[in-house]
């Protein structure tokens, strides 16, 4: 029983990891904090929903198009919101993404209403028995596809030329520019990848919690996970997200069930008070 | 010269104030209620401006302080009905201020967007408590707020409340103007410019950041108490995350780091709320777009734009007076 809870916790945690990953990717290369990451997921989910429920596109094609759409959404965000504010401080960009978040939420509410919609799962809905452990295929599917995505991202950043240039930009924009890397293009690419990750997160989480405009609030869990793992660290984002998911699933087991909503906030405040650099983060010194 | 200008100001201000306080005699009950609500928002805007505009920290949970003030007043006025408003108001402010101070203690170790996250968490926890602790807050049903009284005079209508809410607001606006122009206000501004630079100038960073939070919470707490009196019935959904974001939109539009800007922002927020009252969705959309547009094109808000426009006019006047050729001597 406990193992079952832990596994479904890991599955939830994988989704938080994806959100945390999206946040960290943007932060690492541009130092901006994107409050609208969760709402980017929500909009991608609704794009898929519109395609298969209203336009009767076959589900796999709808999912593919939604992922393309989410990639485009990342690019649009970068082009419309972050680029015009190129000289703005991080404080201002944070508020801009906050604005983007409520624009997406209210616009989606106007288009699709605030109701909850069922969302088809990529995985069969049946329980599996693996030796002594009972679990469901959905959780395993989420864990498996998240791991696959992480592996792909890892290989991309580690071995591809583009990935290397993205890492260079996140280390020093000046030096990267001198090496002939287009920093502007790298920023746009980062937002695109982050949008894609948001889209994948949407396709994985929407079948579990239903599709609604409230899906954007997953960004809070993403932040909590990223901070728990160590803000600014990609492996930290993954680990922190998974731990948060497990905690969230186990806590109602021992405490009253109302506590579930408060867990991400409690983790957030706890980590920031006790160890602001998180599990894997390093202390950063800043110049004036 | 100073004397003359002071005299001229009083000549303008006093009739304005007299007219303002005669307003309830001619305005409708509804408009007076709107003016009361506006006053509450002005106080919130000033409070939030201490944290965001002056000290440069993002607070995404200010509705929580409003809730603390409102619930404190409602609960105390019900349980201890002999307490008059002039005791309750400062107490509500101090209660919210104390919570703000305690919240400030862990925050002072952090910087940047972490503070936004902690305040977001705080806002969510407070509204969750207001919802769940139903023996105290009556949960979703909300609380009825007993009317304020002074001796035998009971502030039981919007027009009567006008004479309670507006003087308190004007008093607190004047106080804020004074705080901002003292050493404390300048320290806040220095922290916004650069925390490290402020520290090297001998500004006790943690102390000033915490007191900015406490002061801000105090203003918002008093606003909460007045809000409770004005609404006469409070429910947890008036203090949600979207309320906090409305408040941010208010000071971004009005102008960060300016008391006058806070007032402009509150006027615009109230106007939009009344115009689009039934269309909550459109209202949020408007605020969201306003946040983005203002942050990109006018980051200092309306008051900042007015200020730079006035400076430009003055410079042009000076230029034409001295008759200097364009572009010479002016960087």
The two tokens of residue B135 are 């023996």
> What whole-number percentage of chain B has pLDDT above 70?
95
pLDDT of residue A282: 64
**Chain A residues touching residue B194 (CB < 8 angstroms):** 288
Which stretches of A78-180 are DSSP H helices? 90-112, 137-159, 161-171, 173-178
Three-class DSSP category at B230: helix
Instruction: Check if B136 contacts A (Cβ < 8 Å).
Output: no
Task: For chain A, say whether B285 makes contact (Cβ under 8 Å).
Answer: yes
pLDDT at residue A40 above 90? yes
Q: What is this model's ipTM?
A: 0.84
SS (H, E, C) A8-32: HHHHHHHHHHHHHHHHHHHHHHHCC
In a domain, residue A286? The reply is: no
Residue A227, in any domain of the structure? yes
Cβ separation of B110 and A276 shorter than 8 Å?
yes
B230 within 8 A of B161, measured Cβ to Cβ: yes
CATH code for the domain in which residue A220 is found: 1.10.3470
Angstroms from B149 CA to nearest CA on chain A = 39
- Chain B: residue nearest A110 by CA? B281
Distance CA(B214)–CA(B212), nearest Å, equals 5
| B143/A contact by beta carbon, under 8 A | no
CA distance B229 to B72: 12
State the nearest Cα–Cα gap between A85 and chain B, in angstroms: 5
Average pLDDT taken over every residue of chain B? 84
Across the range A72-91, mean pLDDT stands at: 85
- How many interface pairs between A and B have CB atoms less than 8 angstroms apart? 115
Contact call for residues A90 and B113 (beta carbons, < 8 A): yes
Does residue A134 lie within any of the structural domains?
Answer: yes
Residue A193, in any domain of the structure: yes
What is the pLDDT, as a whole number, of residue B323? 62
Decide if B257 contacts B267 (C-beta within 8 A).
Answer: no
The domain in which residue A35 lies consists of 2-274
* Contact yes or no for B117 and A272 at CB 8 A: yes
The partner residue sitting opposite B291, judged by closest CB among A99, A109, A258, is A99
In B, minimum Cα distance to A258 occurs at B132
Q: Does B113 touch chain A if contact means CB atoms closer than 8 Å?
A: yes
**CA A236 – CA A233 distance, rounded (Å):** 5
Q: Do A106 and B285 touch (CB under 8 A)?
A: yes
| DSSP 8-state code for residue A78 | I
A287 part of a folded domain: no
Of B106, B121, B292, the CB nearest to A96: B292
B84/B36: higher pLDDT: B36
What is the structure's pLDDT at B1? 47
**Which residue has better confidence, B221 or A231?**
B221
Chain B nearest-CA distance from A58, in A, is 31
The answer, for B106 touching chain A at a CB cutoff of 8 Å, is yes
A285: in domain: no
CA pair distance A192, B159, nearest whole angstrom: 55
The SS3 assignment for B16 reads helix
| Domains in chain A, number | 1
The answer to whether residue B282 neighbours chain A at the CB level (below 8 Å) is: yes
Give B200-207 contacts, CB < 8 A, sequence gap 24+.
Answer: B205/B108, B206/B108, B206/B109
- For residue A263, pLDDT beyond 90: no
Q: Which residues of B touch A115 (CB under 8 A)?
A: none
Q: Which of B104, B137, B140 is nearest to B122 (CA)?
A: B104
Contacts A81 to B, Cβ<8 Å:
292, 296
pLDDT averaged over chain A? 86
Q: Is the pLDDT of residue B247 over 70?
A: yes
Closest residue to A94, CB basis, from B116, B282, B287: B116
């Amino acid at each position: 029983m406990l193992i079952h809870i832990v596994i479904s916790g890991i599955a939830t945690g994988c989704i938080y990891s994806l959100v945390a990953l999206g946040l960290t990717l943007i932060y690492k290369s541009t130092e901006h904090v994107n409050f609208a990451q969760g709402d980017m997921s929500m909009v991608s989910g609704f794009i898929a929903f519109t395609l298969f429920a209203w336009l009767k596109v076959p589900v796999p094609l709808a999912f593919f198009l939604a992922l393309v759409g989410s990639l485009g959404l990342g690019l649009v965000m970068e082009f419309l919101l972050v680029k015009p504010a190129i000289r703005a401080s991080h404080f201002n960009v944070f508020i801009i993404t906050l604005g983007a978040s409520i624009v997406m939420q209210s616009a989606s509410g106007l288009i699709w209403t605030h109701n909850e919609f069922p969302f088809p799962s990529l995985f069969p809905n049946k329980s599996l028995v693996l030796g002594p452990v009972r679990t469901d295929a959905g959780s395993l599917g989420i864990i498996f596809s998240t791991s696959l995505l992480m592996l792909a991202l890892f290989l991309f950043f580690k071995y591809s030329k583009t990935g290397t240039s993205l890492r260079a930009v996140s280390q020093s924009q000046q030096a990267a520019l001198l090496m002939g890397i287009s920093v502007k293009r790298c920023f746009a690419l980062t937002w695109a990848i982050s949008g894609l990750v948001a889209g994948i997160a949407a396709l994985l989480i929407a079948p579990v919690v239903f599709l609604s405009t409230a899906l954007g609030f997953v960004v809070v869990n993403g932040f909590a996970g990223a901070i728990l793992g160590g803000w600014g660290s990609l492996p930290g984002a993954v680990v922190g997200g998974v731990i948060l998911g497990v905690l969230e699933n186990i806590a109602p087991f021992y405490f009253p069930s109302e506590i579930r909503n408060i867990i991400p906030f409690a983790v957030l405040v706890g980590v920031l008070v006790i160890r602001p650099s998180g599990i894997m983060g390093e202390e950063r010194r800043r110049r004036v | 010269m100073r004397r003359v200008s002071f005299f001229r100001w009083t000549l303008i201000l006093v009739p304005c104030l007299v007219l303002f306080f005669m307003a309830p005699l001619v305005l409708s009950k509804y408009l007076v209620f709107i003016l009361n609500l506006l006053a509450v928002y002005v106080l919130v805007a000033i409070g939030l401006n201490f944290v965001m505009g002056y000290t440069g920290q993002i607070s995404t949970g200010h509705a929580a302080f409003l809730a603390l003030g409102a619930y404190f007043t409602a609960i105390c006025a019900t349980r201890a009905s002999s307490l008059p408003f002039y005791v309750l108001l400062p107490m509500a402010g101090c209660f919210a201020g104390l919570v703000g101070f305690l919240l400030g203690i862990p925050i002072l170790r952090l910087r940047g967007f972490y503070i936004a996250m902690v305040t977001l968490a705080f806002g969510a926890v407070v509204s969750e408590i207001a919802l769940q602790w139903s023996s105290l807050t009556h949960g979703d049903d909300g609380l009825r707020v007993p009317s304020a009284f002074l001796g035998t005079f009971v502030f039981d209508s919007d027009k009567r409340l006008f004479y309670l809410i507006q003087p308190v607001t004007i008093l607190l606006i004047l106080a804020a103007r004074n705080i901002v122009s003292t050493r404390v206000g300048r320290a806040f501004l220095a922290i916004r410019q650069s925390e490290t630079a402020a520290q090297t100038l001998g500004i006790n960073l943690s102390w000033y950041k915490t007191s900015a939070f406490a002061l801000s919470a105090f203003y918002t707490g008093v606003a909460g108490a007045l809000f409770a009196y004005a609404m006469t019935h409070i429910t947890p959904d008036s203090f949600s995350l979207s309320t906090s974001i409305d408040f941010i939109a208010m000071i971004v539009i009005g102008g960060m780091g300016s008391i006058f800007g806070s007032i402009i922002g509150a006027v615009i927020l109230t106007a939009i709320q009344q115009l689009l009252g039934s269309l909550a969705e459109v209202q949020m959309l408007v605020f969201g777009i306003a946040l983005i547009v203002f942050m990109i094109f006018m980051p200092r808000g309306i008051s900042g734009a007015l200020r730079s426009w006035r400076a430009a006019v003055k410079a042009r006047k000076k230029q034409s007076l001295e008759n200097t050729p364009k572009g010479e001597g002016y960087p």
